[in-house]
Structure 1
Amino acid sequence: MLINCVAYQEGRKVADIARHDIRSYLGRPGGFVWVALSDPSDDELIEMQEEFDLHPLAVEDARHGHQRPKLEEYGDELFMVLHMIESTGDELHVGEVSIFVGPNFVLSVRSRAERGFHDVRARCEREPELLRHGSGYVLYALMDAVVDRYFPLIDALETELEQIEGRIFSPKASARANIEALYWVKQKLMTLKHAAGPLLEATGKLYGGRVPQACTGLGEYYRDIYDHLIRANQSIDSLRDMVLTAIQVSLATITIGESEVTKRLAAYAALVAVPTLIAGVYGMNFEHMPELRWEFGYPFSIWLMVILDSILFWRFRRAGWL
């Protein structure tokens, strides 16, 4: 579906144009055309391929989707794939935006993503002195918007992790539930890592040394995106380490709990074993057992059981076993 098709001249919007008028605006000096599509049909992609003379391999990647974030060069044209991560309830939904950039055009193809780039277009149109750089600045603005949308998700996962950590040592919390929650956080972090990690290499090609023609003169802007990606990746890696540590701590609490149960069972078994031993001795059918005919034999054996069990109970309670 076509979202926008706008022509720009010297950094300022000229007009919203029809698709069949695109080619007439491409030849104008100092101008470019910015087209935005959302979940386009094959016919729409073929039409854009013919209007902008796009490389067939890049168009095929955009059509099939599910690509790894990357940057590819086809002559003086660029093809970039970005992952758009959106939160839907407790899950993260992964969409894509494929961006075709040429000297006089930008084509963004959004797939499986709800949030668009209306705010990015409005921002660019408010800054004509920067938009005068042409299609390279539009690519920067789109990349910057996508990367900046990662940070609220990272902050939300950090808050979720802190809440789970607070429950780890709570006696009412289930250790199994904590481990399951930590595992889901780890999965979400991997989703973000798969989106932000590959972009480091791709963004590094857009500043310093040889850069594509469309990105000339915008090195400091792409370096800013690179810095943001480094910060995002460092945050993701730190959270992953914290998740792994929290999982290990949760498993350790389970082991400690099992050890406590084992100690209690051993203590109760010892308390039962003492009277059982005494009763077993006097339950043997031997003739010559002096205590059997003693007047105080029965109360003596009962008090002996009580005293020995009391001593054991005191020792176990002092050791923390009971």
Structure 2
Amino acid sequence: MEGANKMAHSEVHYFQSYNHHGIHEEMLKDEVRTNTYKNAIYQNAHLFKDKVVLDVGCGTGILSMFAVKAGAKQVIGVDMSTIIEKAREIVAVNGMSDKITLIQGKMEEITLPVDKVDIIISEWMGYFLLYESMLDTVLWARDRYLVPGGLIFPDKAHIYMAAIEDGDYKDEKIGFWNNVYGFNYTPMQKVALAEPLVDTVELKAVVTKPSLAYSIDLYTVKVEDLSFSVPFTLECERNDYIHAFISWFDIEFSKCHKPVKFSTGPHAKYTHWKQTVFYISDYLICNKGETISGQISSKPTERNPRDLDVVVSYQFEAQDPTRSRGETLSYKMC
């Protein structure tokens, strides 16, 4: 019972965080995110014309209004947080109250005013794609409400890995604990290493070619598939040091007349998801052409299914055996 209470409390905290306007401002100002959804919907108005659309986690209602503009007959937006009260006002001042129905509540617990929907739209992605994501809720809605042959916007996601040189920042974040006002604080290094960093990584810091680690197809993926353990192989593109692995994701709207996509990688335009940095305990010295073989595992924590336990293991076989090394590192995203 105590565990259940902790989970309920964590989930309430998650949804309450979306009550604040600041997080919605950040998402709306993310032009890559918002314009990609807008283009995917507007450029495919033929898919939305006269359709019933479900917006899972509708927030301020921007995707719902895009769908109406594209010709949807009816849009139902669902959100757990109180921001939906503002969404109702926004929908009203834009003259769309007759087309958009907004329901506050947990998707799995409410009843929609329709038996089935033709299209599900959702901006469900979190940091590292799955941290604090709503994908499990989207999949529940898919299985319960989407008509056979119905569409999901977006419908594909891909997680990538690479390795970076980040000595200065790592020393600032991890090395700081070696001497704190004359005291040895190294026990704190383990805590610092176990917390992935969400930050913007400059492309010039990337030492390896990227590796596709995991792909998700929203039409077929199951909730249990969101716990995964997959290999990756990274090829070094220059002689350099490696201090961390990074991860990012790409998103696709593959059912569009012309596929629409965006990336959250260091090579692409800024998004609020940035990249996720996993520091290793020491550093590697790599030469061009050498490879790092690794495995990345991710699963929801027992305490809160929106938090993640992530494990990265790697083995670096250098041309010079004195530079070879490997380890397994555990991280918590919570």
The reply to whether TM is greater than 0.5 is: no
TM class by shorter chain equals: under 0.3
Higher helix fraction (1 or 2): 1
- TM-score, scaled to structure 2: 0.26
- TM-score, scaled to structure 1: 0.27
Structure having the higher Rg: 1
Higher strand fraction (1 or 2): 2
Bigger relative contact order (CA 8 A; separation at least 6): 2
